[in-house]
Structure 1
Amino acid sequence: MVLNYIWIAFFVVAFLIALAKLVFWGDTAVFPAMVESTFSSAKTAFEISLGLTGVLALWLGIMRIGERGGVVSVLARWLSPLFVRLFPDIPKGHPATGAIFMNIAANMLGLDNAATPMGLKAMEELQKLNPHKDTASNPMIMFLVLNTSGLTIIPISIMVYRAQLGAAQPTDVFVPLLLATFFSTLAGIICVSIYQRINLLNRTLLLTLGGATLAVALLIAGLGSLSRVQIDALSTSVANILLFLIIMVFILAGVRRRINVYDAFIDGAKEGFQTAVRIIPYL
């Protein structure tokens, strides 16, 4: 209901301000500019959705192969000890767990295009579990915080953009980004856990967070001995190898299960297209 009032206010406030500019300052260009901006924004929303269509089709197709091949259920079982504490309202083995993991993994590798469709898929699955469809559930809030804080171990996309724009050292942001996203994720988990009354002193959570802290420290120490060129080459190679390895694991799992991998991919890709269409009104 709040969004309803906010959306209406956008137009009412804009109209009143434009009317005041026209009446008191004689700005005759304000209304044509507003109308032009409205159409331009609508066009931009469609272009954003169109740009996501291919990526959504690809990754939701791969995800569907993983679901039918059993990879998603295996991931859900592996992550169950941790996720059952961070997301106590998600049933064990639910598809949302696999989508959340894939989104977090893609974010950690700095692969934004891969993370977006997985995030949309995760939210779609979480909405199915949500008893109050017009209100974000606790798992949605926790996932949104994890997604927004975006722990990034290998910021490949940002380094590529910096290189394309002529940065002298594209890898300069590696350690700052790692530290910033790690501590923002840690802070987010703590804040949401306190709000949702999740026991942070649980042994599993303590071991996970402590292990993650140690891993980040070791990674920074190890990369500190490499040159910037080596860091750039290593991070680019590792991120893309891991990404393609995930695709291969999903496909081979489908072959092992003797499913029709191509049909599974097409079914998921169709869902990706439908998802891209569904998000247009919200943009």
Structure 2
Amino acid sequence: MVLSRFWLVIFISAIVFVMFSLFSGESYTIDHVLNGKKDDPILISEKFVEELPAFIRDSIRKVPEQTMIINRDTLNADTTYVYKNKTVKIYSGVQKSDGLLPTCKSTLLDLIIPLIAYLAFFCGLMELLIISGASGKLAKGLSPVFVKVFPSIPKDHPSISYMTLNFAANFLGLDSAATPFGLKAMESLQEINPDKDKASDAQIMFMCLHASGLTLIATSIIGYRAAANASNPADVMLPCIITSFIGTIAAFLIVGIKQKINFKSASLVLVLITLIAGIIGLLMYVNHLDLIGKNYFTSNLSALILIGIIAFTLIFSFLNEKKFTTANTTVFDSFVVGANNGVKTGVTIFPYVLGMLVAISLFRNSGLFEIISNWIAFIFSNMGVNKQITDALPVALLRPFSSAGSRGFLIDSMNTFGADSLTARLSSIFQCSAESTFYVIAVYFGSVNIKNTRYALGTMLLVDLICVITAIFVATWFF
């Protein structure tokens, strides 16, 4: 219900603002909102040649292409004059994201089709884990801990193994694997959900822990920083881990208090201590490496873990081939069945993802998001907050809505302020310390047709805010 109303507010407010801008003269055209593409120049005016200043008019008539670019500036987009059919179109600024119709197309071609491919492959592997008995063994081993965190889940339930694989994939930065494991977990949790239209306590806890984004190897962030010639691309790794860890603990405590979980359980304390010790150990190991060693370690660990999971699944399935025979199937046929289920899941979630991304596209291109962002930055700057911090806030504000959009701001901050600036480093921490909340909600709850997400959205946004505040403190402390 909350998500539905929020979606309507985004859509309606963006449409109202677009229409107001057009009829008030603030915008010359709204075509870019519907048909424009990211980084395209925006048409701001159209005039007859005679209405232009003489030096521009003369220059346009002299150049063969009948095009003139002025105001060349490293900080601002060029203003372009294009003469055609007796009029001059004036373009200035660039579009922040694809328009509504291109977003529909890119959602299918650039997001859903690749996602379906990932889902098909990893759901095929998960089918092997189920029939071979590996998932059951994993669930049985982890049940003592998970029944404390998820008291409504029966002991040794299959969802335990799926959630474990999802958390592990997120922890190692394996986004392509995390989503299929997470969707399988939601599907499994839905089987024991007494109210199929309403999110269960277990589903909300899983979603909030997943969205808190606990990450050990921020591979993509390190890659962006390396491409921007950062002196030490991996120097944000520890701040990212600290921020995402605090976000995860906050998510667990907020949801746990709501669900009246017993925090004094010895098994929970032991797991928490083990997790902290493991993180500290890995950080100490990475910290003693030189720059090349850090880059080599961070770029290969996640890939090795993923290959290891694939290899283990196939080998374990081969060693337990009798179980497949008993189930009247083969290892390969089971993989195909699981892959087919993955494709069906991808098709199911497409409308949910499309609806959310189109609303976000309209919201951004309307100019309303930029106004809100500028006002927030203005308020913070008047409170005495460092300008380098306020310059990074657009990444934090956009992250819950769009990973691709916030990534664009991140890259822009590195290009504008330098990869080793506080702004760029803080933007990197914002980017890796939380999930795209609205996308995650649409994908995961949409995959099992849950209409009432209860307090999941509010909790996830609160955790996002905690991560933002933590990131600011951590970044100023480290850098």
Partner of 1:62: 125
* Structure 2: distance between partners of 1:19 and 1:243: 49
Are 1:111 and 1:157, in contact at CA under 8 Å, matched by a contact in 2? no
CA distance in 2, matches of 1:4, 1:237: 41
Alignment CA distance shift 1:190-1:15 (3 Å): closer
Per the TM alignment, residue 93 of structure 1 is displaced from its structure 2 partner at its CA by: 2.2
Identify the residue that residue 112 of structure 1 maps to in structure 2.
175
Query: Is 1:112–1:157's contact at 8 Å kept on the other side of the alignment?
Result: no
Aligned mates of 1:236, 1:35 — CA distance in 2: 39
Matched letter for residue 100 of structure 1: M
The partner residue of 1:128 within 164, 188, 191 is 191
Decide which of 205, 221, 225 is 2:268's aligned counterpart: 205
The answer to whether residue 13 in structure 2 is matched with residue 17 in structure 1 is no
TM-score by length of 1: 0.90
Does the 8 Å CA contact 1:52/1:276 hold for their aligned counterparts?
A: yes
The 1-side partners of 2:26 and 2:217 are apart by 53
Corresponding position of 2:455: none
Correspondence list, 1:47-58, <5 A? 47=109, 48-58=111-121
Match of 2:102 in 1: 40
Q: Structure 1 residues 163 and 114, CA, compared in 2 at 3 Å: closer, same or farther?
A: farther
Instruction: Report matched runs for 1:152-167 at 5 Å.
Output: 152-167=215-230
1:196 corresponds to:
259
Distance across 1 between alignment mates of 2:141 and 2:134: 11
For 1:67-106, list aligned pairs within 5 A: 67-106=130-169
Name the CA distance, whole Å, in 2 between partners of 1:57 and 1:250: 15
Hey, what's the Cα distance between the residues in 2 that align with 1:44 and 1:189?
35
Query: Residues of 2 paired with 1:271 and 1:139: CA distance?
Result: 23
Bigger mean CA offset, 103-112 vs 9-18: 9-18
Task: Name the SS of the counterpart of 1:93 in structure 2.
Answer: coil
Q: Which moved more, 1:121-130 or 1:203-212?
A: 121-130
Q: Please report how far the alpha carbon of residue 154 of structure 1 lies from its aligned counterpart in structure 2 after TM superposition.
A: 2.4
Name the CA shift for 1:265/1:161 in 2 (closer, same or farther; >3 Å). farther
Determine the C-alpha separation between the residues in 1 that align with 2:271 and 2:244.
16
Q: Give me the whole-angstrom Cα distance separating, in 2, the residues matched to 1:40 and 1:158.
A: 27
Note if 1:267 corresponds to 2:337: yes
Partners of 2:26 and 2:285 in 1: CA distance: 64
The separation in 2 between residues aligned to 1:272 and 1:170, in whole angstroms, is 36
Give the counterpart of 1:146 among 191, 209, 213. 209
Which of these residues, 271, 288, 308, is aligned with residue 225 of structure 1? 288
> Aligned-pair distance for 1:276?
1.4
Q: Distance in 2 between matches of 1:257 and 1:197?
A: 41
**Structure 2 residue identity aligned to 1:110:** G
Task: Using the TM superposition, give the Cα deviation of residue 7 of structure 1 relative to its aligned residue in structure 2, in angstroms.
Answer: 4.0
Is the helix fraction higher in 1 or 2? 1
RMSD: 2.1
Task: Give the superposition deviation at 1:42.
Answer: 1.5
Closer/same/farther in 2, CA of residues 183 and 27 from structure 1, 3 Å limit: closer
1:110 Cα deviation from its structure 2 partner = 1.1
Distance 1:17-1:109 versus aligned 2 partners, 3 A rule: closer
Specify the alignment match of 2:249 in structure 1: 186
User: For 1:186-207, what per-residue CA distance to the aligned partner results, in whole angstroms no more than 9, with x for missing partners?
Assistant: 2222222112110110111111
Tell me if structure 2 keeps the 8 A contact 1:255–1:261.
yes
C-alpha distance in 2 between matches for 1:215 and 1:269: 34
Cα displacement string for residues 232-273 of structure 1 (whole angstroms, at most 9, x for unaligned residues)? 212333322222111111112211221221111111111111
2:278 is aligned to 215
Tell me by how many angstroms 1:129 deviates.
2.0
Shift of 1:22: 4.1
Q: How many residue pairs end up in the alignment?
A: 282
The higher relative CO (CA closer than 8 Å, separation ≥ 6) is in 1
Paired with 1:215 and 1:27, the residues of 2 have a C-alpha distance of 54
Please state whether the residue corresponding to 1:215 is helix, strand or coil: helix
Cα distance in 2 for partners of 1:210, 1:84 equals: 18
What amino acid sits opposite 2:113 in the alignment?
Answer: L
In structure 2, what is the Cα distance between the partners aligned to 1:165 and 1:265? Answer: 41
Secondary structure of 2:351's aligned partner? coil
CA offset at residue 166 of structure 1? 3.8
Cα offset, 1:9, TM superposition: 4.2
Q: CA 1:221–1:161 in 2, change beyond 3 Å: closer, same or farther? A: same
Shift in Å, 1:103: 0.5
Deviation at 1:60, TM superposition (A): 1.0
Change (3 A) 1:248 1:27: closer
Other structure's SS at 1:60 match: helix
Q: For residues 152 and 163 of structure 1, what CA distance do their matches in structure 2 show?
A: 19
Q: Aligned pair in 2 of structure 1 residues 101, 25: CA closer, same or farther (>3 Å)?
A: same
Rg: which structure is higher? 2
The alpha-carbon deviation at position 17 of structure 1 amounts to 3.4
TM-score w.r.t. the length of structure 2 is 0.55
Could you list the runs of 5+ residues in structure 2 that have no partner in the other structure? 36-98, 325-329, 354-479
Alignment of 1:276 with 2:338, yes or no, is no
